[in-house]
Structure 1
Amino acid sequence: MHEFKVTTLTQSASGHTLHHNGVFSPDDEWIVFDGRNDDTKIGETSTIGMVNVNTGEEKILYKTDNQTQYGPGVGAASFSPKENMVLFIHGLYDADQTKPYDMARRFGLAIETDRPMMGIHMDARDVVPPYIPGSLRGGTHSHAWSADGRLVSFTYNDEFVDPDLRVVGVMVPHESGVTVPEEKGNNNGKLYAAVVTDVVREPKWGSDEISKAFDECWIGAKGKYEIAFQGNTRNDKGETITEIFTVEIDPQVIVQDRGAVGKVGERPQVPQGIKQRRLSRTIKGLSDLRHWLRSSPDGSTVYALGKDDQGRNQVVQCNVMTGETTYVSDLDFSISSPINISTKGDKVTFIGNNNVYVFHLVSKKLDKLTLNTPEDLKVVGVPVFSRKDDKIAFNQFAFRNGVEYIQIKLVDVTN
């Protein structure tokens, strides 16, 4: 069996949590992370940093002011595929004990790596009616750049109307950005933001209506902009199952519908001309393990997790043209993490049994990259391919001064 070389890249006595996508810089020289030592603690986390892949040098890119356990909080950072810019979740600046960091009270902040601390608000937030078109009034998170670095997708929860109903939205280029009144809870935005998925609280049984849109990916790397996302439907028996949906994104169409921003007492609307389409129609739906969809580079296939007859999480693929969904893997263990696909689209990486694996999609070969036992310190989060596919970064706890901290490890997968 081939042994892969694993190195511990970060050393400092703090958390180094990787986002589920895009953590490598465009030139693969740096990896971005946030200071969480617990996946659930974005609201308590104050720093975004990056580490040099070759030297292990750590740099702080951003630090919140007046951080408390209630916020503002930062986390989930990813690099643009084209620029030395990172984008991450930022809680509201006025977060406190009465209104702490929350899924409906956050936005996307960007930093150019050669200008640390100089935050760029990417999505505008406007909580004072009448609302300015291109703004939102809740919280965006889990941001993902399109392949050309021009658009950003995200999931969204509104602060004022149905805050528990999650939807998917996008930010698209806008010449002058979006300027909103200077009020508490407001911020301007560099990009124009809109919601692009329709949800209802009680989907009709057996229909294509959904009560939640979430954990999306951009489809393919070329040509038109299209997103695949997970949607919770009701089957003919009234059971909730998760299926794959798609929506084409036309930035011009989005910017033209200025009424989609919505009025007081309603959620932001999907711009006219933007229509979601159900892709998969399965018996069991996708796995309930939280994961993000992944697309092949040519946009022909979307990958996800589904449960086999033994209840184990396996890789499934969905044909973007036909919606046909088939199992790709038949592992004798259950995948326990979200998945990532290589830049070339030939391999998938994930965690299982406290180890990191690479699964070859065509040959079905499985490479075990680490040699941990269940008793070893925990591997957490999501392994991520470098942009050249020669390395995989992942998170694992390691002892520093007798305390367990999430560190970044690297595996060389050139062989």
Structure 2
Amino acid sequence: MKQLTFAPRHHQLTNINTWTPDSRWLAFDVRPSGASFTGETIEQVNVETGELDVIYRAAQGAHVGVVTVNPQKAQYVFIHGPENPDESWRYDFHHRRGVLVEKGKATNLDAMDITPPFTPGALRGGSHVHVFSPDGEWLSFTYNDHVLHELDPKLDLRNIGVALPFGPVNPDIDHPREYAGSRWCALVSRTTPTPRPGSDEINRAYEEGWVGNNGYLKADGSRQRRALAFIGDTLSTRGEKVPELFIVDLPQEEAVWRQASPGSAVSLPAPPAGVMQRRLTFTHARRYPGLATVPRHWARSNPQGSEIAFLMKDDNGVAQLWLISPEGGEPRQLTCGEGVQSAFNWHPSGDAIGFVQQNRIVLCDAHTGNITPLTPVQENEISSDAVVFSPDGEKVAWMQETAGFRQLWMTSTRR
């Protein structure tokens, strides 16, 4: 084990894509906690030398956080709060944007247009947890809508979106909080404020993950090049929230995406016609229905795109890892006994999954479920937010309370 940061402040890792492609730098922000948003810098630490580097410093009262790295090059993306916040426009789910930094230059990821007629390719609210696809070309994010929030906060439903490699998007600037963006953005999930109990309808889409480094193989042998798995909140026949796993196949063609609806004054933006989400899990009849919400986790596919991992309680009420094909079918329980105490990630080989168990970092064999501890049980608490492998698969990093602050730690994956 090796402690990577030592300054008397908190350091926050995002749940995936925190390493530079050369496996030498680990990117982080300095929020006091994952639930706060008061950090002013995006930084990285060299895991070999301990050198610290400030990637971006916010100005004009803005704050930044939740940084991820392009898997193919030293390009960073993170949440940026509003400059010069005031009573009418302060940081919130629907008041934030993505910012890209490459070679010291910062550009907006998504455009903002909140005055009708709305601009295709622009958003009308805030984007969050921006994650590059494995090839570094597309990005996914979660989204909340300012326009509907102003109309009725109950209509501002969490959704999943993508930022696509064509742009820029330049809306007419009719409001001081509007701005241009470098990527074309569109939503890919469909939500409704009032899902029908017992149906596949959802009122919230979140915690998404890219499927496979190169998509996945369909049953007919064709390859779906891009897809996102995510959690969607359904309602049971008794009207109770039941989170289930969903997937959405994404078309490649630019022309298709340009047909996505930017929404109206009374409706959310919508995916292009034909882009439909598909439900993968059906847990309403289980003793503990739904995917586990504690610990917080994100749907994660293996690099091969053949299995998607998620957390669900066993019949004893313990959160365990389960695997399912992108085509659906019965999920396979991978862990048993002690359960999983954190978000998780696949090792780059696709042969193992890393997470926290009994306050130690462990590797779980993705075929057998066998557990290999990578650290001893720790006296100080390990954060459940992130366990992240380096691209070369040689190292794994996490956050741990140390001398009163959340510090970054690393260990080798070799045992």
Taking structure 2 as the reference length, the TM-score comes to 0.91
Aligned-residue CA RMSD in angstroms? Answer: 1.7
Residue 64 in structure 1 maps to residue 37 in structure 2: no
Provide the aligned length of Structure 1 versus Structure 2: 394
Aligned twin of 2:47: 53
Equivalent residues in 2 for 1:17-166, closer than 5 Å:
17-42=12-37, 44-67=38-61, 72-112=62-102, 114-115=103-104, 118-162=105-149, 163=153, 164-166=156-158
SS in 1 for 2:317: coil
Alignment equivalent of 1:320, drawn from 321, 326, 342: 326
Runs of 4+ in 1 over 4 A off after TM superposition: none
Whether the aligned pair in 2 keeps the contact of 1:166 and 1:213 (CA below 8 Å) is yes
Whether the aligned pair in 2 keeps the contact of 1:253 and 1:272 (CA below 8 Å) is no
* Cα distance between partner residues in 1 of 2:13 and 2:114: 31
* Cα distance between partner residues in 2 of 1:306 and 1:99: 38
Aligned twin of 2:258: 256
Q: Which amino acid aligns with 1:387?
A: P
Whether the aligned pair in 2 keeps the contact of 1:94 and 1:185 (CA below 8 Å) is no
* Cα distance between partner residues in 1 of 2:327 and 2:274: 20
Alignment equivalent of 1:218, drawn from 210, 215, 223: 210
Shift in Å, 1:353: 3.1
* Cα distance between partner residues in 1 of 2:87 and 2:414: 49
Q: Which amino acid aligns with 1:316?
A: W
Aligned twin of 1:270: 271
Equivalent residues in 2 for 1:180-195, closer than 5 Å:
180-182=171-173, 183-195=175-187
- In the alignment, structure 1 segments of 5+ residues that lack a partner are 1-5
Residue 409 in structure 1 maps to residue 409 in structure 2: yes
Cα deviation code 1:18-59 (max 9, x no counterpart):
0000001011111100011211112x1111001111101000
* Cα distance between partner residues in 2 of 1:253 and 1:272: 12
Whether the aligned pair in 1 keeps the contact of 2:341 and 2:384 (CA below 8 Å) is no
Equivalent residues in 2 for 1:358-369, closer than 5 Å:
358-369=363-374
Deviates more, 1:53-62 or 1:153-162: 153-162
- In the alignment, structure 2 segments of 5+ residues that lack a partner are 216-224
Whether the aligned pair in 2 keeps the contact of 1:355 and 1:379 (CA below 8 Å) is no
Cα deviation code 1:253-298 (max 9, x no counterpart):
543315x011223211222121111122223221122210000112
Equivalent residues in 2 for 1:230-245, closer than 5 Å:
230-245=231-246
Whether the aligned pair in 2 keeps the contact of 1:305 and 1:313 (CA below 8 Å) is yes
Shift in Å, 1:319: 1.6
Aligned twin of 1:3: none
* Cα distance between partner residues in 2 of 1:285 and 1:300: 22
CA distance 1:143–1:300, shift in 2 (3 Å): same
Whether the aligned pair in 1 keeps the contact of 2:208 and 2:230 (CA below 8 Å) is yes
Cα deviation code 1:170-203 (max 9, x no counterpart):
11111x4101223311121111001111101121
Q: Percent identity?
A: 32
* Cα distance between partner residues in 2 of 1:323 and 1:248: 17
Aligned twin of 2:336: 330
Whether the aligned pair in 2 keeps the contact of 1:380 and 1:396 (CA below 8 Å) is no
* Cα distance between partner residues in 2 of 1:98 and 1:55: 45
Alignment equivalent of 1:371, drawn from 367, 376, 381: 376
Whether the aligned pair in 1 keeps the contact of 2:299 and 2:309 (CA below 8 Å) is yes
